[in-house]
Structure 1
Amino acid sequence: MNQRTADVLDNGFTDHVLVCTNDRTSEYACCADAGGAAVLTAVKEWLRERDVFWSRVHVAETSCLGLCSAEGTAVAIHPRNQWYSDVTPDDVPELLAAEFGEEATRLGTKDAMASENRSVGD
């Protein structure tokens, strides 16, 4: 096993966006049925447009984040420890702008902590 935190940080990584695309056969809602793939695509596009995708912000498709809803997808942003449910593709620009700034200039934990009291929709 190799501990690679220093390597990742040296490469400029600041944030990680996790998007649930979990699919299951159940009576309960799942993010795959609530547009998870489309939310994942919208997140990647927003970050690419600001030239921070895979340079400073990594994106991961995940299984269940435990915020299941038929109304939208679950998204978590770390190390900010921000969790969202019911996210639709149309919500992505507002959500990411609130987290990272309109042009993704508010990246990293120091910048995130300075704006900790903001909320999406304000």
Structure 2
Amino acid sequence: MNERTSEVLAEGFTDLVVVCTNDRDADYACCGGVGGDEVAAAVREWLRERDAFWTHVYVVETSCLGLCSSDGAALAVQPRNEWYSGVAADEVPALLASVFGADATDLGAPA
């Protein structure tokens, strides 16, 4: 095991966008079945368009965040401690603009 905290921080990491893409065989909604992959792709695309992908913000896909909704995927922004549910891919630009600023210039800003 390699502890790499100082390396990540030296690179300027400030934010983490966590998108649920969990898919399961169940009678109730799960993010993978209501667009989780599309939401994750939309997050990456929004950041790429602003040259902010793989800079100060990382994007990860995860299993269940416990915010299941038939309206869309669950998403969290850390360390800001902001949590969203029912996120559709077409809502990602407005959501990220509200969190990071229209040009992704508010990375690392306090919540």
TM-score with structure 1 length normalisation? Answer: 0.88
Counterpart position of 1:92: 92
Letter in 2 for 1:100: F
Deviation, 1:3, is 2.4
Task: Give the corresponding residue for 1:62.
Answer: 62
* Aligned-pair identity (%): 61
The alpha carbon displacement at 1:2 in A equals 2.8
Cα distance in structure 2, aligned partners of 1:95 and 1:104: 11
Q: Following TM superposition, by how much is the alpha carbon of 1:12 offset from its aligned partner in structure 2, in angstroms?
A: 1.2
Post-superposition Cα deviations, 1:23-63, rounded to whole Å, max 9, x if no partner, equal 00111210011101111110000000011111111000111
Cα deviations by residue, 1:78-107 (Å, 9 ceiling, x for unpaired)? 011110000001110011001100000001
Q: Return the letter of the residue paired with 2:30.
A: C
Structure 1: unaligned runs, 5 residues or longer: 117-122
| Separation (CA, whole Å) in 1 of partners of 2:79 and 2:11 | 16
Match for residue 7 of structure 1?
A: 7
Q: Which runs of 4+ in 1 moved over 3 A?
A: none
Q: Secondary structure at the match of 2:31?
A: coil
Matched with 1:41 is 41
